[in-house]
């Protein structure tokens, strides 16, 4: 349905996995409690390595233990992905679940959803689950120290990982796209933002204010623009195209007059509008000029976000710019206008293909945080030997 896009999202991270979630086996934070209660006990064989299930407390750990199991979390506006990489066995496994953005559905929902993803990740392990040495959790909406404190107090990841850091999902996305090198990543999923790091280590951000105040080019923005064109077409202010039928059918509206009821009565969430983005992409892929125009405008606006962020980089050096997120999976529909506007006269950017995905970037940050040498090569090595490569 959606035109072939960039191929950094491979099968093992595919959202269809979330369909396998066994909710009946889940109780909130149950996984964590079970682990906290288990204490130091029961070694087990898995691959080439002997696992020790230990309590949360770092004091009980073997001080000579060299870190080899890393967990990355990428909590986006719509989905949360987890990736567990074991460099000793050279294996990786992944899980996917609902959004953990605390400002979308509240902290309790975010904690529950995070637990769901972890339950899936460790499903079937029982007490033989690997001890995670280091984890980085990148969560959408986790901006303030207070927010990070809430997550830390929940104890969910603390029960699993020996060493742990929380940040927002853009940090993992940047780490993945540019393999932790200075530069910018343009994130475009449910929402949109630009995040980056200067050579001196200063962080840079533009965008990311949600679908009403900004988020141009995001899936929510694209869905909303689609609906606005449907209304304009019905009123003779714009050409009526295939987009109208497709979006009205998707929202189960017999006519455009039913649209306000469907949109306003159901509550206004960015995720709801973002869910229409694949429809707009499909219609655009079929050649519809109105739908293509939405992607053209979105791509240009994303490039403008990035160009505004480039000004935060000192001097005249060229700035690496890469990208992440589900909207870029729509391929040239969004990439062509993005690339063109980004590289217009006067810009000092070098567009780079994303090296790793956001959740892989989170693993990279966990590896770097543990002091592991050359994490980029290590991760690339493991991934090349797993389903990804």
User: Minimal distance in Å, beta carbon 312 to a copy of itself?
Assistant: 8
- Among positions 288-307, residues that touch a copy of itself (CB under 8 A) are 304-305
Q: Closer CB to a copy of itself, residue 235 or residue 377? A: 235
The token duo for 249 is 């059918």
Nearer to a copy of itself, 157 or 185 (CB): 185
With tokens 């992607």, the residue in question is 295
Name which of 5 and 207 has its Cβ closer to a copy of itself. 207
Considering the rule CB under 8 A, would residue 231 count as an interface residue with a copy of itself?
yes
Binding mask 242-281 for a copy of itself (x = CB under 8 A): ---------------x-xxx-xxx--x-------------
Give the residue with the Cβ less far from a copy of itself, 124 or 236. 236
Q: Shortest Cβ distance from residue 9 to a copy of itself (Å)?
A: 28
Binding residue (CB under 8 A) for a copy of itself from 102, 207, 285, 358: 207
Whole-angstrom Cα Rg for the chain: 22
Nearest to 58 by CA among 333, 296, 381, 370: 370
Q: Please, which of residues 138-157 interact with a copy of itself by CB under 8 A?
A: 143
Compute the Cα dihedral for 156, 158, 164, 165 and give only its sign: positive
Rounded to whole angstroms, the Cα distance separating 175 from 368 reads 10
Which is closer to a copy of itself, CB of 104 or CB of 161?
A: 104
Q: Supply the minimum distance, in Å, between the C-beta of residue 139 and a copy of itself.
A: 15
Q: Does 228 bind a copy of itself (CB under 8 A)?
A: yes
Residues near a copy of itself (CB under 8 A) are 103, 143, 205-207, 209-210, 212-214, 224, 227-228, 231-232, 235-237, 257, 259-261, 263-265, 268, 304-305, 308-309, 311-312
């Amino acid at each position: 349905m959606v035109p072939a896009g960039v191929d950094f999202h491979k099968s093992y991270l595919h959202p269809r996995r979330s369909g396998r979630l066994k909710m009946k086996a889940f109780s909130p934070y149950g996984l964590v409690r079970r682990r906290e209660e288990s204490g130091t006990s029961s070694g087990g064989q898995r691959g080439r390595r002997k696992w020790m299930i230990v309590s949360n407390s770092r004091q009980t750990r073997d001080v000579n233990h060299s870190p080899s199991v890393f967990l990355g979390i990428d909590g986006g506006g719509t989905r949360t992905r987890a990736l567990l990489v074991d460099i000793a066995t050279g294996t990786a496994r992944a899980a996917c679940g609902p959004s953990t953005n605390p400002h979308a559905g509240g902290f309790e929902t975010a904690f529950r959803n995070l637990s769901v993803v972890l339950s899936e990740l460790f499903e079937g392990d029982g007490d033989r689950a690997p001890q995670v040495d280091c984890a980085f959790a990148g969560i959408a909406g986790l901006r303030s120290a207070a927010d990070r404190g809430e997550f830390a107090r929940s104890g969910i990841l603390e029960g699993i990982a020996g060493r742990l850091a929380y940040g927002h999902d853009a940090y993992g996305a940047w780490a993945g796209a540019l393999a932790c090198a200075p530069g910018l990543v343009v994130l475009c999923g449910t929402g949109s933002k630009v995040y980056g790091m200067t050579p001196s280590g200063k962080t840079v951000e533009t965008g990311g204010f949600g679908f009403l105040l900004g988020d141009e080019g995001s899936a929510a923005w694209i869905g909303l623009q689609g609906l606005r064109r449907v209304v304009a077409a019905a009123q003779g202010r714009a050409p009526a195209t295939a987009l109208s039928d497709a979006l009205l059918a998707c929202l189960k509206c017999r006519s455009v007059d039913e649209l306000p009821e469907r949109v306003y009565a159901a509550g206004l969430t960015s995720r709801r509008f973002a869910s229409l983005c694949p429809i707009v992409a499909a219609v655009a892929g079929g050649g519809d000029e109105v739908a293509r125009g939405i992607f053209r405008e979105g791509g240009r606006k994303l490039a403008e976000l990035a160009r505004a962020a480039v000004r935060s980089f000192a001097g005249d050096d060229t700035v690496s710019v890469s990208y992440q997120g589900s909207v870029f999976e729509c391929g040239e529909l969004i990439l062509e206008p993005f690339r063109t506007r980004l590289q217009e006269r006067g810009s000092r950017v070098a567009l780079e293909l994303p090296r790793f995905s956001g959740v892989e970037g989170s693993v990279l940050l966990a590896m770097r945080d543990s002091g592991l040498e050359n994490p980029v090569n290590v991760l690339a090595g493991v991934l090349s030997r797993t389903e990804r490569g």
